[in-house]
Chain A
Amino acid sequence: MCGFEAPRNHEQAMAIDRRNGNTKFADAENVEIFMIDEFSTFEDLGFGGNPGPDYKKICVHMFYAVKHDGRHKACLVAGGHLTETPIDSVYSSVVSLCGIQLLTFVAELNDLEVWATDIGNAYLESYTQEKVYIIAGPEFGDQQGHTLVIRKALYGLKSSGLRWHERLSDAIRDMGFIPSKAERDIWMRDCGDHYEYIAVYVDDLLIASKDPSSIIKTLSDEHKFKLKGTGAVSFHLGCDWFRDDDGNLCCAPHQYIEKVMDNYLRLFGKHPHNAHSPIVQGNHPELDTSDLLDDAGRSINPSLDLSNGLSKLVDSTSLPPS
């Protein structure tokens, strides 16, 4: 988001648009509200509608961001912090990075194609069991002031992650896959002389199969998922995937490292000093008593955040040079 001002609410977004003489944030809001409508996320009870005593009133926030390629995004997030903590667990698991590596290794051994795909608006594919409603704000246009009961697992609700996990698990199970006993988010299907695999990381799927297009077709045609970025894996979970000169499948977060280096140069005005290891011996950041960073210092930290893929490489202190 370097060089762009990100608004904190609808009024600020509109003010920034007016100042910039464009409608980028307004357009982003409209796209989000259109998608929310398309998925029938809310049940509109009109002005003064009363959903009943079991329902709790919460709020929603429009979250704004500018992507690195300049695209303006708006995302509606429910104030899940206003609801009671559920008694039952709402934990939703994801495949481990080790599981991803094992899957690709088995795929290579069995001459399977490895494809990646992303399910768009995943959470809105599932229904929430929480009884919550909102009073629509100005970002809802004509619906402003209406009572809207939340029907779908809107991002921000405590149980939304689990509801989506259940929805996708049901779909994959319907396709004849069973979860691996070692990694519950790697799904396997017996094809006689080999297995097909799907690794699930929330809405990012990695598919290993002799015919991945048929799995994609089932997901989109029968289960009506809106799939994006479908094809042979080239970028997945923050890592670039490619084949080297010997034809070996490789993964490395090159794009992410490049971005981190750019941010470093912009923040500190120089390139980092090369280090032979990511941490020093006896490293205990939890015992650090050095000065607390001020607000300016705090803003540096997220800019240098490390992705999953990057963390994995950093973990590997014996990483061989390519």
Chain B
Amino acid sequence: MTLSRFRACPRQGHINRVKRVIGYLSKFKHGVIRIRTDKPDC
């Protein structure tokens, strides 16, 4: 479920959830999806 579905009728709770998502992004703002094709260590 995405928060964008509540854009038409947003509540304070939805803004608080958006703030938390942004807080998460702030913590992991240097995160990347890395595409590695070498054999994994196992």
- A residues contacting B by CB (< 8 A) are 101, 104-105, 108-109, 244, 248-252, 254, 257-258, 260-261, 264, 268, 271-280, 283, 285-286, 288-293, 297-298, 300-302, 304-306, 310-314, 316, 319-322
Give Cα A254 to B21, complex, Å.
Answer: 15
Known A104-B35, A302-B7: A297·B26 in contact at CB below 8 Å: no
Known A288-B13, A305-B4: A275·B32 in contact at CB below 8 Å: no
Chain A residues within an 8 Å CB radius of B24: 274-278, 314
**In the complex, which residue of chain A has the Cβ closest to the Cβ of B35?**
A249
Between-chain CB contacts (< 8 Å), 5 pairs = A260-B25, A290-B12, A306-B2, A314-B24, A321-B28
Known A293-B15, A301-B15, A306-B4: A279·B32 in contact at CB below 8 Å: no
Give Cα A261 to B3, complex, Å.
Answer: 17
Chain A residues within an 8 Å CB radius of B28: 313, 319, 321
* Chain B window 1-40, contacts with chain A (Cβ cutoff 8 Å), 1 for yes, 0 for no: 1111011011111110111111111111111111111000
Q: Is the CB of B34 within 8 A of A244?
A: yes
Set A252, A278, A290, A322: member contacting B13, Cβ < 8 A = A290
Q: Is the CB of B10 within 8 A of A292?
A: yes
Write the nearest CB–CB distance from B40 to chain A, whole angstroms.
13
Q: Is the CB of B12 within 8 A of A293?
A: yes
Closest 7 CB pairs of A and B: A275-B23, A288-B13, A252-B32, A274-B27, A290-B13, A278-B24, A272-B23
- B residues contacting A by CB (< 8 A) are 1-4, 6-7, 9-15, 17-37
Give Cα A297 to B18, complex, Å.
Answer: 13
Write the nearest CB–CB distance from B24 to chain A, whole angstroms.
4
Other CB < 8 Å A-B pairs besides A101-B33, A108-B37, A301-B18, 13 of them? Answer: A248-B36, A252-B33, A261-B29, A272-B26, A274-B26, A280-B20, A285-B1, A285-B14, A286-B1, A290-B11, A293-B14, A301-B14, A305-B4
